Structure 1
């Protein structure tokens, strides 16, 4: 019995030690994440008294982004003498693209802004690019796709096969139309088309104003197609072929010292934590330490979600 009691005590001691190291590891992970978050907050924030050329990268699908909006406001108040707006986006929400356009034009009131088109600046990405005073693109960059669309699924056929009927009570026939659970009525389609055409008219007016195009020239570039950089320069959608070196050279023609340092501006939290690497590693470690609830919480903290709602200005090649 004495031997069994000793074994039991030893097992209890071992469990306590294991539990201690689990808690210690989780605490260390938390400290590491906190340090990373604090470091990322300072990233991309040049001192307001330091003259520089600001480089802002706009990539991926354009959505509403409060952190990006704060970045543009900070940039507007900074000592940046010129701005490189590097665009690599197929577009996204029309309203989100409009917000970027307005923010960039405000910055351009006090310093020159040049857009650099990387692989693609189409639809909403092109809306952002034309906010700049000058656009530089590679010969094979993709740009254009000037247009607006609204897409929604129609599950009515599937529901009929499943024997499911969705009933609704509406204040008017066009309320919540189109819904996706019933065929779109001609009246609803007409109302949606009017919405699309109004946003498209706004987009075309923007292109006409910023690129000095009208009549046949404007019609030639606003039918929704995309263009290479080589085509776009002939159509006056871009101003110059090249990359960031050419963009900085253009800033120099506007009085910006080309020798100034180019400083990267990034939204708060866009460091390692925003990429999800530290969070994923911490979540995996928490799972391995027997803390699945913590792992789930860490993963959930990064689920911002990719939701595109409303009218879209986005280039999406169809998969045939």
Structure 2
């Protein structure tokens, strides 16, 4: 009987310990979810970045979207102790407004230190807008650049809707409201209005190229018809300054008084805690469990810029 009593006590003690461990584990999971959520919702953008004199390296890659973290990073870089900047560009472009924001942010950085752009595989359209915000552009012989132009694309489903017997009706305050919309034939007036918007943005793009590259008249017209160019062609057309890569860009910074013995430090947008472990997914799972499905969907889209603004400066947007 004594042995049975001891066994019972041991089992009770074991159950208590297991209960404590389970509560602790649940608390840890809850804490991770909360911290992950804070990482998602917290203040975006880069931190203060590297301290002390240095050469900053910052990347502009992929399709250019509105990006608060990128803009915060560039604003911090403009106030930093970086003595020179390497802008590593590898982008086919993106939204016109996002490209304009990026251009202005880079020009602000360049007010207080020299900025050299290093073109990777491609710096076309909006990617080229980013590159010409720098003071010196270095590209490989086979880099793709140019594609100076603007476009707007929208699907037209009128044929399909007619085939399936669907007619979309609308009541508008004026004929050009929400036109073109893809569910009714595009009127000449709507097409002309959209064309006016495109041409105005195109004039802005050409104006930036004229200002930054010193191209005018026939020389500007020769490069601004939407074509792309290799690095070798671009240097002949004065779209880039030098053939090479990062080392050539650093050598140019030296000609502008930058001490090239300074460390080259990479600036990256600050990530939320546990971002490598799927912070957005963890927080989305918690939102789903709480029945907040719309919030969960939004979290899953966090960090995945799915929508470009309506007017594009992009090379091959359908790819």
Instruction: Classify the TM-score, shorter chain.
Output: 0.7 to 0.9
CA–CA distance in structure 2, aligned partners of residues 271 and 60 of structure 1: 24
Q: Alignment partner for residue 46 of structure 1, among 43, 50, 66?
A: 50
Gap change, CA 1:166 and 1:31, over 3 Å in 2: closer
Where in structure 2 are there 5+ consecutive unaligned residues?
Answer: 1-7
CA–CA distance in structure 1, aligned partners of residues 247 and 70 of structure 2: 25
Gap change, CA 1:198 and 1:156, over 3 Å in 2: same
- Per the alignment, residue 239 of structure 1 pairs with 241
In the TM superposition, what is the alpha-carbon distance from 1:309 to its structure 2 partner?
2.1
- Per the alignment, residue 180 of structure 2 pairs with 178
Q: C-alpha deviations, 1:208-234, integer Å up to 9, x for none?
A: 111111122111111111111111111
- Per the alignment, residue 26 of structure 2 pairs with 23
- Per the alignment, residue 257 of structure 1 pairs with 259
CA–CA distance in structure 1, aligned partners of residues 258 and 279 of structure 2: 40
CA–CA distance in structure 1, aligned partners of residues 169 and 280 of structure 2: 43
- Per the alignment, residue 228 of structure 1 pairs with 230
Q: Alignment partner for residue 125 of structure 1, among 124, 127, 131?
A: 127
CA–CA distance in structure 2, aligned partners of residues 159 and 35 of structure 1: 45
In the TM superposition, what is the alpha-carbon distance from 1:43 to its structure 2 partner?
6.3
In the TM superposition, what is the alpha-carbon distance from 1:186 to its structure 2 partner?
0.6
1:86–1:116 Cα contact (<8 Å) kept: yes
In the TM superposition, what is the alpha-carbon distance from 1:33 to its structure 2 partner?
4.5
Residue 86 (structure 2) pairs with residue 84 (structure 1): yes
CA–CA distance in structure 2, aligned partners of residues 154 and 252 of structure 1: 53
CA–CA distance in structure 2, aligned partners of residues 116 and 272 of structure 1: 31
SS across alignment from 1:121: strand
CA–CA distance in structure 1, aligned partners of residues 38 and 185 of structure 2: 53
Gap change, CA 1:152 and 1:43, over 3 Å in 2: same
CA–CA distance in structure 2, aligned partners of residues 254 and 167 of structure 1: 63
Q: Alignment partner for residue 166 of structure 1, among 165, 168, 171?
A: 168
- Per the alignment, residue 137 of structure 1 pairs with 139
- Per the alignment, residue 312 of structure 1 pairs with 312
- Per the alignment, residue 301 of structure 2 pairs with 303
RMSD: 3.3
- Per the alignment, residue 96 of structure 1 pairs with 98
SS across alignment from 1:301: helix
Structure 2-normalised TM-score? 0.83
Deviates more, 1:169-178 or 1:24-33: 24-33
1:282–1:298 Cα contact (<8 Å) kept: no
Q: C-alpha deviations, 1:43-82, integer Å up to 9, x for none?
A: 67112xx101111101111111112221121111111101
SS across alignment from 2:197: helix
- Per the alignment, residue 289 of structure 2 pairs with 293
Matched length: 301
In the TM superposition, what is the alpha-carbon distance from 1:268 to its structure 2 partner?
2.3
Q: C-alpha deviations, 1:86-120, integer Å up to 9, x for none?
A: 11111011011111111111211111011111111
Where in structure 1 are there 5+ consecutive unaligned residues?
Answer: 1-5
Gap change, CA 1:159 and 1:35, over 3 Å in 2: closer
Q: Alignment partner for residue 217 of structure 1, among 216, 219, 234?
A: 219
